[in-house]
Structure 1
Amino acid sequence: MRNYLTLFLLLFTLQLSAQNHVFVETESFEDKGGWVIDQQSFVVMGSSYLMAHGMGRAVKDASTTIKFTKKGKYHIWVRTKDWAPFPKGPGKFQVSIDGNPLKQVFGESGSDEWKWYDAGEVDIKTETIKLSMKDLTGFNGRCDAILFTDVPKFTPPNKLEELSAFRKKLLNLPDSPVAAGHFDMVIVGGGVAGTCAAVSASRMGLRVALIQDRPVLGGNNSSEIRVHLMGDVDKNYYPKLGRIVREMDNGDPGNGNPDAKEYGDARKTSIVKAEKNISLFLNTYVYKVEKQNDIITAVVGRDIITNKETRFEGSFFADCTGDGTIGYLAGAEFRMGRESKAETGESLAADKADNFTLGTSNLWASLPRDTVTTFPETPWALQFSDEYHIDNTKADWEWETGFGNFNTITDAEKIRDHNLRAIYGNWSYLKNHKSQKYAKQELAWVAYIGGKRESRRIIGDHILNQMDIQEGKQYPDGSVTATWTIDLHFPDAKNSKYFEGQEFFAGTKHIKVAPYTIPYRCLYSKNIQNLFVAGRNISTTHVAFGSTRVMRTCGMMGEVVGFAAYLTTKYKTTPRGVYQDHLPELMSILKGETIEAQP
């Protein structure tokens, strides 16, 4: 396979040198209009794309200028998909050149696979043209890339490795990424856990790189996803923990609040930018890890807008991605899904181990209007009836897809799209069949970025389990005090009755716990020497994860990781070395005792 790919790249490079191709990444459009950048499927696509997320109202055109070194006739290819082919979806759009639309309408092919579509031939008569994409429906049409080629009978590659090489060559990206420099601590993931880890490490004097794959910080607590912070910070055994979480906390606006400002994006960013030791890298998806044996030496990230790559060297790394991406790429031991009772001895564990995970939510909200509003029928969406529909003006946590039917990492786009089909289908039913209540109600906000709950869990030197939690075991390295219930979601029974195998609505049973502490040994990798973890991907069983996963608790994990990274740097040791040789000093820091930070 490797020899085949090498031969392909050689032939491909020779072909490119002799022919004229103009390759356009849609996420790099100069004016994105009302279209949005979606990077959630980078792991399977190797790229971001533009999407027309108008909630049923067509968005403004996206456009850019393209330069040609040679005039003449070009064949056009458009890479897209039909995201809801039941039998044909609603994501229709057109491509225009200098205001003249191509005849083809994209996004209604009946195929949910990403692939290249033949858009015909065009005569390029000027060196510069204006390329535009016009949304026709407002229902999430999407486009990855557009190719102009003068090569007869040429079909662009579609397989990931070949397409990635194709992109890189035609975008003239350098063979080597730009060097960001060397950091004491490289933190990947700018959710609450990662952001708190960065601030904690920075205040201990470490030089920190904080890398986030979206334009805002906060992860599930950002304005893009809008999940409120849960877990207590005022029941800590260690008074110093939770201070940074409190700084990040913008109050409790609830889930899916239609007012974006309630989630404090600007507050989080300002706190990070005020830290002189933090270098913040937004819109950067880390997809590659470099290591020597069991030590990570660098990570490489790609800008989700420009596709330019940056390399970050570090002494220590923290995986705060939620998905355990860095650990996975580095070869860290991890677990995904449920363990069996026989394996863990937990009464709440599954009878048999499986791939079941808690799902992903896309929240939504509507607002009252002064006049009657309309919403179209949605035959491509999930179908509701008088017998079963969800009679609410906004979503809460229960709107959730996953449950083992999808892989929360590789099927992220499918999960989001299934959530959208449920949201739009239910809202269409309410608007068109419950007009007395909903005639003057308008869909105001729908999250297009999924709020994930569970994926990989990186295995550490201790795996927190149900007994640790319910018995309130106090280990010598007990650090973060957690208070949330064991909260394991499952498909709502009524939802399963009407949408068996396609559930999008959850139930739960809260199992109360007394405040307990999470051992520090859960916050680093068992087999990668310099890798910390914080957030929902720490070392727990599936059952224990049901309690540790809430964001205030995750934020305190980040604070602990920042303190521990200070000690690894101070003593030139490893995360495990802190536990073995410097645990009293770590516990002193957590107790709030005075520690002299590094200059």
Structure 2
Amino acid sequence: MKTTIRLIVLLLLALRVGAQDHVFIETESFENKGGWVIDQQSFVVIGSSYLMAHGMGRPVKDATTTVRFPKKGKYQIWVRTKDWAPFPKGPGKFQVALNGKPLNTVFGESGSDTWKWYYGGETDIQSEQVTMALHDLTGFNGRCDAILFTNAPKFTPPDGAEALTAFRNKQLNLTGKTADAGQFDLVVVGGGIAGTCAAISAARLGLKVALIQDRPVLGGNNSSEIRVHLRGDVDKNHYPKLGRIVREMDNGDPGNGHPEGKEYGDERKIAIVKGERNITLFLNTHVHKVEKEGDRIVAVVGRDIATNAETRFRGTYFSDCTGDGTVGHLAGAQYRFGRESKAETGESLASEKADDFTLGTSNLWASLERDTVSSFPETPWAIQFSDEYHIDEARADWQWETGFGNFNTITDAEKIRDHNLRAIFGNWSYLKNNKTAKYGKRELAWVAYIGGKRESRRLIGDHILNQMDIQEGKQHPDGTVTATWTIDLHFPDERNKKYFEGQEFFAGTKHIKVAPYTIPYRCLYSKNISNLFMAGRNISTTHVAFGSTRVMRTCGMMGEVVGMAAYLSKKHNTTPRGVYQTHLSELMAIIKDEPTASIKP
């Protein structure tokens, strides 16, 4: 009898669980984004992209999508969001509307800057198809990660990183659904100047190349999303062939933070890449997983930042051009982060003690003069400025920078960007409301919501470039890229530090001039991952040397060398290290563009 009752209870519980339905919507997959934008910069922290209302103080158009329900009935609503600037409550307020009717709950003003689920009440769904909208109330960067409808009583969606990822993957049916992009000779991850040049260089030598970029545009810091101009000379090369592809990418010098995004040549860059028959371009794809066999990478897996569809990219060789050393880190490559000590490197410019200090991240901005006077709201949640201290500028330059060891440039990317926004909006509010004669007719034309990073991980190669290599002009047998930029190590501006110690957002520097020098090829491949190249700001250098190698024309030339070395690696069925050990003369001949170079695309 007891056994029968127990079976009946279990059956009833099973039926009850089976009757429970979750309808899970990732906001980045909304059919119509309206004025909201996709932000993927914190994928490594929250496991997802999200939508953000980046209106520079003006409410943006609704993002809308169609939600299909398995059945009618009552559902609880949960919204995953945060209050990004709680002082005590921030400005990122928004509502969720169903069939044009907003929920009573206003989200984004909780007073907590932690991502979590917020209960939005209960709704009675009377049709199997509902139009849902995100309705922005302020234009000040409200954000929403996901929305859950559930008819499970007393159910709270998980917030812990592992549990949330598992829940997300299950609801999106991602497990076992990875598409295969095919096999490539070279998989380049990162579509900045370095990665784009690496892909083009390899493709023109006959390699089948995948170029993967996590944004809708190429160029990285030199794109319209970030707007940093190119630096480093290409006309002082020991080997004039290097830099030809960089010149193709170069759209002139619009300066930093130009109000017109077209000045940075996004369309040109994409057209050049799409014109290469050996390159397959994958935009909007964030690589978050690596598959290995021994010390070799065999594949990387990327997720579409809008649809969440996953794709596997198999390759013989890989190049980490992410800037953050993402592929290397996922593969277990050796790397450094922060400053080494003088005792470790012997560099006179090194720190007395090793620490996590890195150069920061910039979010640039620009204003334009208009015909009429405009207003800008008070921003009590932003950084506060005064007659005693404010920044009297109509357009940002490189100095608008946050990081400096106060924040981790990878795991705190969202916090850094948000701190920059609080500085920008706070300063602009002060200028608009206190310097009306100068700024009354000016309005914000553009503010970057994607951060322009400088420094994070530096992957370790067979050689670690240091200050002495640069200043002594050492002639390494594998010296390739000619670098010309100063040793340019930023630090908090002293006056900014006085008023905002520990929360600095404005930088200073001291340029230490150097004569043109060459970067050894051994800095461009991993010491312990046998088929991994790298190009860009994450190559093998000390923190001090990085201050000179990090600029984009120099990084682009690194990419050109990686493409050449990948060609030789395939030609001789060897590793990046094998090219140095056995085929260096052939690599140098290609770099020097000598007639004896054997190139067979």
Could you tell me which residue of structure 1 aligns to residue 371 of structure 2? Answer: 370
Residues 137-195 of structure 1, C-alpha deviations (whole Å, 9 max, x = no match):
00000000000000000000111111111111112234141000000000000000000
**What displacement does 1:327 show?**
0.4
Could you tell me which residue of structure 2 aligns to residue 534 of structure 1? Answer: 535
Counterpart residue type for residue 326 of structure 1 = V
Written as runs of structure 1 = structure 2, the 5 A alignment for 1:231-250 is 231-250=232-251
Residues 272-294 of structure 1, C-alpha deviations (whole Å, 9 max, x = no match):
00000000000000000000111
Could you tell me which residue of structure 1 aligns to residue 416 of structure 2? Answer: 415
Alpha carbons 1:205, 1:597 under 8 Å: kept: no
Does residue 321 (structure 1) correspond to residue 307 (structure 2)? The answer is: no
The 1:549/1:370 distance shift into structure 2, 3 A limit, reads same
Could you tell me which residue of structure 2 aligns to residue 193 of structure 1? Answer: 194
Counterpart residue type for residue 375 of structure 1 = F
The 1:90/1:15 distance shift into structure 2, 3 A limit, reads farther
Could you tell me which residue of structure 2 aligns to residue 218 of structure 1? Answer: 219
SS of the residue 1:366 aligns to = strand
Q: Distance in 1 between matches of 2:337 and 2:70?
A: 50
Counterpart residue type for residue 347 of structure 1 = S
Could you tell me which residue of structure 1 aligns to residue 107 of structure 2? Answer: 106
Could you tell me which residue of structure 2 aligns to residue 513 of structure 1? Answer: 514
Counterpart residue type for residue 87 of structure 1 = P
Q: Distance in 1 between matches of 2:409 and 2:46?
A: 15
Greater alpha carbon shift after TM alignment, 159-168 vs 300-309: 159-168
Q: Distance in 2 between matches of 1:389 and 1:25?
A: 40
SS of the residue 2:162 aligns to = helix
The 1:122/1:183 distance shift into structure 2, 3 A limit, reads same
Could you tell me which residue of structure 1 aligns to residue 20 of structure 2? Answer: 19
Alpha carbons 1:460, 1:524 under 8 Å: kept: yes
Could you tell me which residue of structure 2 aligns to residue 3 of structure 1? Answer: none
Could you tell me which residue of structure 2 aligns to residue 50 of structure 1? Answer: 51
Q: Tell me the TM-score normalised to structure 1 length.
A: 0.97
**What displacement does 1:593 show?**
2.1
Does residue 492 (structure 1) correspond to residue 462 (structure 2)? The answer is: no
The 1:14/1:261 distance shift into structure 2, 3 A limit, reads farther
Counterpart residue type for residue 444 of structure 1 = A
**What displacement does 1:18 show?**
4.4
The 1:76/1:263 distance shift into structure 2, 3 A limit, reads same
SS of the residue 1:586 aligns to = helix
Q: Distance in 2 between matches of 1:365 and 1:345?
A: 42
Does residue 177 (structure 1) correspond to residue 178 (structure 2)? The answer is: yes
SS of the residue 2:401 aligns to = coil
Q: Distance in 2 between matches of 1:328 and 1:281?
A: 21
Moved over 6 A (4+): 13-16
**What displacement does 1:19 show?**
1.7
Could you tell me which residue of structure 2 aligns to residue 79 of structure 1? Answer: 80
Alpha carbons 2:362, 2:400 under 8 Å: kept: yes
Could you tell me which residue of structure 2 aligns to residue 551 of structure 1? Answer: 552
Could you tell me which residue of structure 2 aligns to residue 337 of structure 1? Answer: 338
Q: Distance in 2 between matches of 1:66 and 1:179?
A: 29
Could you tell me which residue of structure 2 aligns to residue 569 of structure 1? Answer: 570
Could you tell me which residue of structure 2 aligns to residue 591 of structure 1? Answer: 592
Alpha carbons 1:78, 1:145 under 8 Å: kept: yes
Compute the RMSD of aligned alpha carbons: 1.1
Counterpart residue type for residue 81 of structure 1 = K
Could you tell me which residue of structure 1 aligns to residue 121 of structure 2? Answer: 120
**What displacement does 1:15 show?**
8.8
The 1:15/1:383 distance shift into structure 2, 3 A limit, reads farther
**What displacement does 1:262 show?**
0.2
**What displacement does 1:221 show?**
0.2
Alpha carbons 2:431, 2:439 under 8 Å: kept: yes
Could you tell me which residue of structure 2 aligns to residue 5 of structure 1? Answer: none
Alpha carbons 2:21, 2:150 under 8 Å: kept: yes
- Provide structure 1 residue ranges, at least 5 long, that are not aligned to the other structure: 1-12
Q: Tell me the TM-score normalised to structure 2 length.
A: 0.97
Alpha carbons 2:198, 2:563 under 8 Å: kept: yes
**What displacement does 1:596 show?**
4.9
Does residue 275 (structure 1) correspond to residue 290 (structure 2)? The answer is: no
Residues 107-162 of structure 1, C-alpha deviations (whole Å, 9 max, x = no match):
00000000000000000001100000100000000000000000000000111111
Written as runs of structure 1 = structure 2, the 5 A alignment for 1:137-536 is 137-536=138-537
SS of the residue 2:402 aligns to = coil
Number of equivalenced pairs? 587
SS of the residue 1:443 aligns to = strand
Counterpart residue type for residue 156 of structure 2 = T
Alpha carbons 2:284, 2:306 under 8 Å: kept: yes
Q: Distance in 1 between matches of 2:408 and 2:358?
A: 8
SS of the residue 1:390 aligns to = coil
Q: Distance in 1 between matches of 2:192 and 2:273?
A: 12
Q: Distance in 2 between matches of 1:450 and 1:74?
A: 38
Could you tell me which residue of structure 2 aligns to residue 582 of structure 1? Answer: 583
**What displacement does 1:468 show?**
0.4
Q: Distance in 1 between matches of 2:162 and 2:170?
A: 12
Q: Distance in 2 between matches of 1:231 and 1:29?
A: 41
Q: Distance in 1 between matches of 2:407 and 2:15?
A: 41
Share of identical aligned residues, percent? 79
Could you tell me which residue of structure 1 aligns to residue 11 of structure 2? Answer: none
Alpha carbons 2:586, 2:598 under 8 Å: kept: no
